[in-house]
A and B are shown apart, each in its own frame.
Chain A
Amino acid sequence: MTVDVLARRSTTPKPTLVELQGVHKTFANGTVALENLNLAVGEHEFVSLLGPSGCGKSTALRLISRLAGLSAGRLVWSGEVAVGDIGFVFQEPTLMPWASVFDNVYLPLRLQRMSRRAVGARVDEVLDLVGLREFSNAYPRELSGGMKMRASIARALVTEPKLLLMDEPFAALDEITRFRLNDDLLRLWAGRRFTVVFVTHSVFESVYLSERILVMAARPGRIVEEIRVDAPYPRDDAFRTSEPYNAWCREASAALKRAMGES
């Protein structure tokens, strides 16, 4: 029953949250990073950008988050974007080594001048969500790679963002840890209903996680294909070994290969 509802939602078009329209991005050194990029992300959607390195996936994320400016084209948000509406998770955990896990997760709220007393419970709640509550006082160097990444995700979620941008967040982790974090991410996404734009170069990861995969080609960076993964959530190990999963992986691999041939 629940599964059916979820499945239907993943196929119905969602109202657009953010859109890149005809975006060009040229770096100062003249490199064309993105050319005529059109990308619309729906509310509560899970979209992956899949492509070879150097295809401008990360640049697209930076444009959406306004960390970088567009050379041409438009960035359209469906509503007002306040500070904290966008969460960003980098490939590295990017934690402050001198601060405890709690202080690292508290950072975005602290920068908005919210007192520790006022939001401490909120930070604890997010730490609970990622299973790091008991490591609240630990320092990043005392954590394993997977735990650091959880802390990084907790920090991105603490402001309850509308959009979570993830730039190959699990690429540096071992496969077992990566699988576990994939599941954790889906669990968080199912509960919180935020939008995820997930950059990856792993075909398997993109199929397992996303509702929609946008395949990108490099030089210049652009979107060449779109694949819908109409599998119901929650997805688990059974999905990972199912025939439809394999079929989507084959399809995505073929698309990626074509994209690499084009660049």
Chain B
Amino acid sequence: MSTVLEQPTLADRAALGGDAAATDSAAADAHARRARRERVLRWVAPIAIALAALGLWELVVWWNDVPHYILPGPSLVAQSLVEDWGTLSGSLLVTLQVTFMALAVAIVGGVGLAVLFSLSKWVELSLFPFAVVLQVTPIVAIAPLILIYVDSTQVALLICAWIVAFFPILSNTTLGLNSADHNLQNLFELYGANRWQTMRFLRLPAAMPYFLGGLKIAGGLALIGAIVAEFAAGSAGTGSGLAYRILEAGYRLDIPRMFAALVLISLTGIAIFLASSLLSHLLLRRWHESAVKRES
């Protein structure tokens, strides 16, 4: 509505003389150059450091003649990754399946339960302790029990991954649902909104940033849960996920393959994190402070 003059007007510049204008544009050029350099460096610097670290690792292994069953160099790990890709990719798929199914169930269950909690104080009071117990009990400790009680190893893995993934979604979404602006709540009341409308148009959108924060944590935890459960299932299980490959490679002293499986797990974790960050950014960029670019 109002125009704010942040830049000196043309008249001002003319008054300052041509020199001042020239310096001005030179300064702007320098600023643009600096910005461009920073954009490039943002990518180049971490990649360069990572390559240097890998190079150092390779060098140390080669220089000290470290046997490959103790510490393989990155080149050997890469080679193993390529050669064993047939087995490893199958295992990756199994682990991914458990992770994403657990995450999906955690999202549905976590959000559903959070909605239930926010609708009824009594449900929250009576069920929240269970959620906390599930959360604080180390998954490694209960995984063997779950594996005994549940016939299908696949389902047991799923349950383990779900237990660790669902709590951050539940607690974050509950917090979000309860943090809708009070005056907006008054407004909804004034216009006779029913519970469903308040949930749909006010509380769920208000909870969105909190839910997405929970999702970011839950994504990584689902993967960790799946891996931990696979370890607990061990060689006795019929599972052939990445953790099982690590165990198997350990028994055979096939350390390069162990590293290869480890690399795949890390990459999966990174991919999940990036995907949830991107989702969060896309959903919030128009309105939430966390995703909106600051004007400087």
Contact = CB atoms under 8 A, between A and B. Distances in A.
B53 to A, nearest CB: 41
A108 B193 CA distance: 9
Interface in A132-190: 139-141, 144, 146-147, 159
B271 to A, nearest CB: 28
Best-surrounded residue of A94, A97, A147 (most CB of chain B within 10 A): A97
B75 interface: no
B191 A112 contact: yes
A112 B190 CA distance: 11
A111 B194 CA distance: 8
Given A107-B201, A140-B287, A83 B191 contact: yes
Interface residues of A, number: 25
Given A88-B186, A111-B197, A144-B1, A96 B191 contact: no
Interface in B165-202: 181, 183-184, 186-193, 197, 201-202
B287 A98 contact: yes
Contact of B1 (A84, A112, A146): A146
A92 B183 contact: yes
Contacts of B184: 94, 96
B205 interface: yes
Contacts of A107: 187, 191, 201
A94 B187 CA distance: 9
Nearest to A90: B183
B contact patch SS? helix
B209 to A, nearest CB: 9
Given A88-B187, A107-B201, A111-B192, 13 more contacts: A83-B191, A90-B186, A96-B184, A98-B205, A98-B206, A99-B205, A107-B187, A111-B188, A111-B193, A111-B201, A112-B191, A147-B1, A159-B191
Interface of B: 1-2, 181, 183-184, 186-193, 197, 201-202, 205-206, 208, 286-289, 292
28 contacts: A65-B190, A67-B186, A67-B189, A67-B190, A83-B192, A84-B191, A88-B186, A88-B187, A88-B190, A90-B186, A94-B184, A96-B201, A96-B205, A97-B287, A97-B288, A98-B205, A98-B287, A107-B191, A111-B188, A111-B193, A111-B201, A112-B192, A139-B287, A141-B287, A141-B289, A144-B1, A144-B2, A147-B1
